[in-house]
Amino acid sequence: MFDPLWKLALGLLTGMVFGLLLQKGRVAKFHVIVNQFLFRDWTVVKIMGTAVVVGAIGIYALLPTGAVSLHIKPLVWLGIVAGGLCFGAGMAIFGYCPGTSVAACGEGRRDAMVGVIGMLLGAGLYVVLYPQLSGLLKTWGDAGKVTLPEWSGTSPWLWIGVVCFGALAAFAVFDRSWGDTSPRLHKDTRQRHGAS
């Protein structure tokens, strides 16, 4: 039921750094998440894109040394498609994703605290329905734990190169639209104070 103590402590430490980064990155805020989907604020894409590029380079560089191993999630077609649809709709309505809603609770956001209860209910529903769901998910097929380089028979570095290039191109194109995020934050703060 419990991991060894060193592993629990390690998880807590890693989580604290993660929470600090999410809060500092301003993604624990409703308007930052929703405005990303409305193309008014590019913070989420910026942070996720950079994390993926930096993470990919490190993990694939460390892989031959044996210091790390891959943990690929299986491509269960129905699960990924239906899950993606539910997740996207739920996230846009809620205004936080699972990790950032926990960070939002730390910031004092009360709607995110209620959301955490909702997430426990959603997870509980999945557990209760698991016997039916696991049968249903199998009917659409499972492509297994496949990576893009394996699937295409190419080098992972080719893919990392493409992702890197895509990120740099996006930075160059969207650079202008990022300048206005701080005045918006300021305005948001002022408005809240005015309302309270």
Site residues for another protein, 61-90, by CB under 8 A, read 62, 67-76, 79-90
Using CA atoms, how far apart are residues 189 and 193, in angstroms rounded to an integer? 6
Q: Which residues contact 159 (CB under 8 A, 6 or more apart)?
A: 148, 149
Using CA atoms, how far apart are residues 48 and 189, in angstroms rounded to an integer? 25
Q: Which residues contact 27 (CB under 8 A, 6 or more apart)?
A: 33, 43, 44, 47, 100, 103
CB of 116 within 8 A of CB of 101? yes
Residue 120 interacts with another protein (CB under 8 A): yes or no: yes
Residues 18-57, mask of contacts with another protein (x by CB under 8 A): xxxxxxxx--xxxx--xx-xxxx-----xxxxxxxxxxxx
Residue of 100, 80, 94 lying closest to 27 (CA atoms):
100
Beta carbon of residue 196, minimum distance to another protein (angstroms, whole number): 9
Nearer to another protein, 24 or 168 (CB): 24
Q: Quick one: which of 8, 161, 168, 186 contacts another protein (CB under 8 A)?
A: 8
Residue 134 interacts with another protein (CB under 8 A): yes or no: yes
Q: Quick one: which of 15, 141, 161, 166 contacts another protein (CB under 8 A)?
A: 15
Beta carbon of residue 179, minimum distance to another protein (angstroms, whole number): 14
Residue 14 interacts with another protein (CB under 8 A): yes or no: yes
Nearer to another protein, 13 or 168 (CB): 13
Using CA atoms, how far apart are residues 178 and 35, in angstroms rounded to an integer? 12
Residues 148-167, mask of contacts with another protein (x by CB under 8 A): xx-x----x--xx-------
Output the six-digit token pair for 59: 């993990």
Nearer to another protein, 48 or 169 (CB): 48
Beta carbon of residue 128, minimum distance to another protein (angstroms, whole number): 7
Beta carbon of residue 64, minimum distance to another protein (angstroms, whole number): 14
Beta carbon of residue 175, minimum distance to another protein (angstroms, whole number): 15
Output the six-digit token pair for 36: 């990303």
CB of 60 within 8 A of CB of 54? no
Residue 46: count other Cβ atoms within 10 Å of its Cβ.
19
